A = this chain, B = another copy of it.
Amino acid sequence: MSHNSFGHLFRVTTWGESHGPALGCIIDGCPPGIQFTEAEIQTYLDKRKPGQSKYTTQRREPDQVRVLSGVLTSEDGVMTTTGTPISMMIENVDQRSKDYGEIARQYRPGHADYAYDVKYGLRDYRGGGRSSARETAARVAAGAIARKVVPGLTVRAALVGMGIHKIDRSRWDWAEVDNNPFFTPDAGSVELFAEYLDGIRKSGSSIGAVIEVVVEGVPAGIGAPLYAKLDQDIASHLMSIPAVKGVEIGNGFEAATLTGEQNADEMRIDADGNPVFLSNNAGGILGGIATGAPIVARFAVKPTSSILTTRRSIDVDKNEVDVMTKGRHDPCVGIRAVPIGEAMLACAIADHYLRHRGQTGRV
């Protein structure tokens, strides 16, 4: 049991607060012989990094990762995992010094301030402490290695909705995702999102978003029937991301509105003699087990709780107060959740791949 770990055979434990000296993670159970460079990890971290556009917080963090253990490093910097724990650390740099007087005493609506105090009797109020989005840098670093555990795996995510606007799925183009600050796969939506979010940002407000993660190359058979279901662990992994309020697999909540005929994914044998599904309502998972079809998961991110509008709240002495959350914030935290969603899926699948190999010897 652990409060700060996820996964079992590929097990990630994260640590660190927003305004401490550093944050990081340990990967325990990574197979030996996997090769990577710090630069590769960095490309994923850079995608999540704050300050990339006017739509993300202006905090300036280099988010430079340092691998402290678990690898043999060649002269040209290629790291090979040895099977022992991989410790990665990212130093916090831009911890703007300020007076936390009010935040230390007042509970910001939508934040975990009140909940922490009730639970622990004290909290690290600087920048959200452990609940800061900064913690997710550690996940992204872990995800960069997880991707390499399963041969031939492709993990990609995209923003598919922001506030009341959804993308046009008929225009989906993975190549577009990295061409715009919103990670939308629909080039036609970029201008709309830009205008929409500009308005929200300027008014000091915020907005929610929906992200979709698609994983291709998942070996059929990983997962398990009941309490180690692959979809269950995906749900758990995605719900662990701060601000996530909903998770669905395949056609998700829409499945509740369908008939059995509409929902069934029929099967045929393809030209190569392999089983193939004619649709993917199931999102690649049946009975908790991967079928070989692409895994499709979506998650809903609530609007950033920090807004410039005054809200009613209370303080630590149970006085009623009005709170306005100043400071640097993302108007739509959902955007930066895109690489985080990828990382969490990569970790979930790496873990289940090793578990399946362990129990069945089948890969």
Contact = CB atoms under 8 A, between A and B. Distances in A.
Contacts of A118: 220-221, 289, 291-292
Interface stretch (A20-28, A41-49, A54-62, A181-189): A20-28
A247 B265 contact: no
Interface string A237-250: 01110100111111
Contacts of A281: 302
Contacts of A285: 115
Contacts of A306: 260
Copies in the complex: 4
A349 to B, nearest CB: 14
A4 B85 contact: yes
Nearest to A6: B227
Interface in A199-258: 200, 205-210, 220-229, 231-236, 238-240, 242, 245-258
Nearest to A27: B15
A51 interface: no
A171 interface: no
Give me the 4 closest cross-chain CB pairs, A-B, nearest first: A112-B287, A358-B358, A246-B248, A115-B289
B268 A312 contact: yes
Nearest to A119: B221
A283 interface: yes
Interface in A122-176: 122-124, 129-131, 135, 161-164
A225 B124 CA distance: 12
A208 B311 CA distance: 39
Interface string A81-119: 011111101000000000000000001011110111011
Contact of A83 (B5, B82, B267, B360): B360
A299 to B, nearest CB: 9
- Chain A, interface size: which category? 35 or more
A124 B82 contact: yes
Given A124-B84, A245-B251, A268-B320, A208 B28 contact: no
Contacts of A319: 269
A356 B119 contact: yes
Contacts of A269: 314, 318-320
Contacts of A314: 267-269, 275
A24 B87 contact: yes
A250 B256 contact: no
Given A2-B228, A246-B247, A302 B235 contact: no
A339 interface: no
A72 B120 CA distance: 13
Contacts of A220: 115, 118-119
Given A245-B255, A256-B302, 5 more contacts: A1-B8, A4-B26, A161-B256, A208-B256, A247-B247
B358 A355 contact: yes
